[in-house]
Amino acid sequence: MSQKKIVLITGITGQDGSYLADFLLSKDYEVHGMIRRSSTERYERIEHLKGKVELHQADLLDQHSITNLVDRLRPDELYNLAAQSFVPTSWDQPLLTAEYTALGVTRILEAIRLLKPDTKFYQASSSEMFGKVKIYPQNEDTPFYPRSPYGVSKVYGHWITVNYRESYDLFACSGILFNHESKRRGIEFVTRKITLAAAKAKLDPSRKLKLGNLEARRDWGFAGDYVRAMWMMLQQEKADDYVIATGVMHTVQDVAELAYAHVGLDWKDHVVVDQGLFRPAEVDQLMGDASKAKKELGWEPEVSFEELIRTMVDADLERVKAEKK
């Protein structure tokens, strides 16, 4: 029988899921990933993990599929990273977002509660829960004021995690993670949208990029650093909630300046503001205070904002050059 710890990751095909799988394999876990059925099986981010992780079909919408999976695997740890995670889509598909991002969490918690109550559970909560903030920086005690159906759904996911911990004594943690990016970030999110556009502009300087609110401020870190924090939370004696952030804030314009400068271009020659990309309700600025995680988990971010954006541009340059060939 395997002596390895068994882990189940929902959302393994996403940015964080792929980094977490890499990390847990390096810690010698037996890694299982939950994937939803699709007519085209394109798992770009975990291509390199073929043969190293086991994939299982189940869906956040389907209680039986989740229950059966937990029953079959009996995981030591379960990281719930799956969600409808793109904020603008949450206004177009508010009910679906709530089903995945809010109720999906309860479906997983119910499966754990009924079948394997000693499974350690991680919920991917978000700084979007803080929304319209008045207090800087935000920590675990800052009140929530979500500004999108996504943010509202994450508040539900956060509180149901706390509630199952308090009601049933489950080892359930909520990581309140601020924005984190990487070369595996989805191309619709603003950092990657910009780094990809800058890389393309390097090859074709006539290319323009449409962006929304350039003044929005975020606390951007590196996804690889943030998945380490998720794991650290589940290795503690006691389950708790932690803010994970760098404590440094930049504007969307800063990202554009840095990315275009890295390929020798001036962002002003390329970026066009499109009012259609502004959100019905914006989160103007977010900046986290990760003191608790630093003190209790010993977690520290290792990659700076500048290094992160430059690495993303370099990776996109490689990609567009390869595609051109």
Residue 26 CB: number of other CB atoms within 10 A? 8
Q: Is 179 in the site for ligand G4F (CB under 6 A)?
A: yes
In angstroms, give the least distance from the CB of 59 to ligand NAP.
4
Touching ligand G4F, residues 131-170 (CB under 6 A): none
Candidates 30, 77, 128, 181; catalytic one: 128
- Interaction partner, residue 211 (ligand G4F, ligand NAP, none; CB < 5-8 Å by kind): ligand G4F
Nearest to 231 by CA among 101, 73, 114, 124: 124
Touching ligand G4F, residues 277-296 (CB under 6 A): 277, 279, 282-283, 286
Stretch that binds ligand G4F, among 102-110, 164-172, 188-196, 260-268 (CB under 6 A): 188-196
Distance (Å, whole) CA 277 – CA 195? 18
Identify the three-state secondary structure at position 180: strand
- Interaction partner, residue 218 (ligand NAP, ligand G4F, none; CB < 5-8 Å by kind): ligand G4F
Candidates 85, 90, 125, 126; catalytic one: 126
Candidates 29, 100, 150, 242; catalytic one: 150
Residues of this chain that interact with ligand NAP (CB under 6 A) are 10-11, 13-17, 36, 38, 59-61, 81-85, 100, 124, 126, 177, 179-180, 186
Q: Is 271 in the site for ligand G4F (CB under 6 A)?
A: no
Listed in order, strand segments (DSSP E) in the chain are 6-10, 30-35, 54-57, 77-80, 120-126, 172-177, 180-181, 209-211, 217-218, 221-222, 241-244, 250-251, 271-273
- Interaction partner, residue 312 (ligand G4F, ligand NAP, none; CB < 5-8 Å by kind): none
CB 29 within 8 A of CB 97: no
CB 257 within 8 A of CB 310: no
Q: How many residues does the chain have?
A: 325
CB 23 within 8 A of CB 16: no
CB-nearer residue toward ligand G4F: 252 or 308: 252
Catalytic-residue membership of 150: yes
> Annotated active-site positions, please?
126, 128, 150
